Amino acid sequence: MTKVSNAEMVGMSSERLERIGESMRSLIDSNKIPGTVTLVARKGKVVHFEANGSRDIERDQPMKKDTIFRIYSQSKPVTGVALMMLFEEGKFLLTDKIAKYLPEFKNMQVFTKGKGGRIETEPADSAITIQQLACHTSGLTYSFMPDPIGSKYLSEEIERGLGNIPSEGGLFFSDKPTKPPFKNLRDWTKSLAEMPLVAHPGTKWNYSLGMDVLGALIEEVADMSFGDFLKERIFEPLGMKDTGFTVPEGKLNKFAANYGPALQGGMVLMDDPKKSGYKNPPALESGGGGLVSTAEDYLKFAQMLLNKGEFEGRRYLGKKTVEFMTSDHMGIESADDGLTALFNMLGNNYKVRGMGFGITGSVVVNPALASLPVSKGVYSWGGAASTHFWIDHKEDLLGIVHTQLLPDGTYPIRELMQLATYQAIIDKK
């Protein structure tokens, strides 16, 4: 188990760090979230690592530091690192058209008007690039996005086999498809490419399945399965022993239950860990949302990024590659434009300003507009069940908060975690 160091040695207050647990327990005690694992590291030292609440309410199991969580879209930065490894090797350029490697994406059509079965389209002005897929500016979407093409994704069951997000209560997409499963990622991309785009490539930020397309690209250029690439190049070298697309039978006792908010208050069970689909290999290995992990495993991944590509003497990415990956690629400093007001996706809980986007993760471009005392340049992302991580190169700091409550944004867990972390910095540099 990871050793917790004296916070004062790295310019933080151990007393003030206790506010992290206080914030989390307030949410737990009010029956809003089941439990949390929170972790903070600065200057290479873990200064806070704490478990609170329950891992499985129904079985009266307490949350523990080694709990395995569904990290959903927190998988995306992992896919980004895999992508940049192959980019460094010269397997492709980010400006390459994705159709060069996946020809089904030639001659894309773009939505112009209509709804339901009466959608009108026009030819795309330009081809989708790899960089656009990594930055959510490709024109692809998700079935839960509030646009006519998202609805078409849903009716066509485009996301079947990609994830284990339950559909009870109308959350996200159906987990009970009526159509046969896709054979593999390439079989899936061929169906996805038949769907119209929501916007011309490069003209709009729109949360999407782009990272899953990148998984297919990685398979194509690496000549191995996406999961095998992640295992060989990232998970095994970093020692991420509890991270993958499945939870083995012998580890189900560490797997958290997943919850959603109940209409009458409190929580409702969404995924019983003993009956979960994660017990079996997924139909498709989703680079956009398929992984499970622990806070301790993700610490190693995040610390590697914070170290600009190096961890415990092994280099995974070059320094300049990580700087490029974690910088804003939107190019609009105001962060109040349609391209950079990124989280205006699913209602008021997502109206976050001051954010740009890099390769597979968000970047703070204006802390004042983001309304949190974080550094400019903070790189982060989270998952549908309210998990989150961030790295801060300026402060040599990282944070992780894991819980299991669908959907993300129901409560301000990320904001409370970041606030409690940054107010504990006391050095005078």
Residue 1 amino acid letter: M
Looking at residue 173, its pLDDT comes to 45
Return d(Cα 380, Cα 358) in angstroms, integer: 9
Dig out the tokens for 359 from the structure: 């390769």
pLDDT, tens digit, 9 for 90 and up, residues 310-352 = 999 999 999 999 999 999 998 754 445 544 445 555 444 445 6
DSSP lists the bridge partners of residue 399 as 40, 390
Quick check: helix, strand or coil at residue 403? coil
Averaging pLDDT over each range in 157-161, 202-206, 415-419, which range is the top one?
Answer: 415-419
Residue 41 in domain? no
Residue 204's nearest CA partner among 99, 330, 362, 360 is 330
pLDDT, tens digit, 9 for 90 and up, residues 3-41 = 999 999 999 999 999 999 999 999 999 999 999 999 999
Residue 47 in domain? no
Alpha-carbon separation of residue 102 from 12, 108, 141, 185, 215 (angstroms):
49, 12, 18, 11, 11
Residues above pLDDT 70, as percent of the chain:
92
Residue 103 in domain? yes
- Please work out, in degrees rounded to the nearest 5, the angle formed at the alpha carbon of residue 387 by the alpha carbons of 230 and 64: 90
Residue 162 in domain? yes
- Mean pLDDT computed over every residue of the chain: 92
How many structural domains does the chain have?
1
Radius of gyration of the chain measured on its C-alpha atoms: 20
pLDDT, tens digit, 9 for 90 and up, residues 239-286 = 999 999 999 999 999 999 999 999 999 999 999 999 999 999 999 999
CA dihedral 206, 195, 75, 328 (to 10 degrees): -30
* Cβ atoms within 10 Å, residue 336: 13
pLDDT band at 62 (very low <50, low <70, confident <90, very high): very high
Residue 412 in domain? no
Return d(Cα 284, Cα 290) in angstroms, integer: 9
pLDDT, tens digit, 9 for 90 and up, residues 152-190 = 999 999 999 887 665 443 344 445 678 888 999 999 999
Residue 348 backbone phi and psi in degrees, to 5: -60, -30
Residue 301 in domain? no
Range of the domain at 131: 86-222
Helix (H) or strand (E) holding 402: strand 397-402
The answer, yes or no, to whether residue 130 has pLDDT greater than 80, is yes
Strand pairing report for 362-364 and 292-293: unpaired
Residue 70 backbone phi and psi in degrees, to 5: -75, 115
pLDDT band at 58 (very low <50, low <70, confident <90, very high): very high
Residue 405 in domain? no
Can you tell me which residue has the tokens 């003993």? 274
Can you tell me which residue has the tokens 């050095």? 427
Residue 166 in domain? yes
What is the average per-residue pLDDT within 196-216? 95
pTM metric for this prediction: 0.95
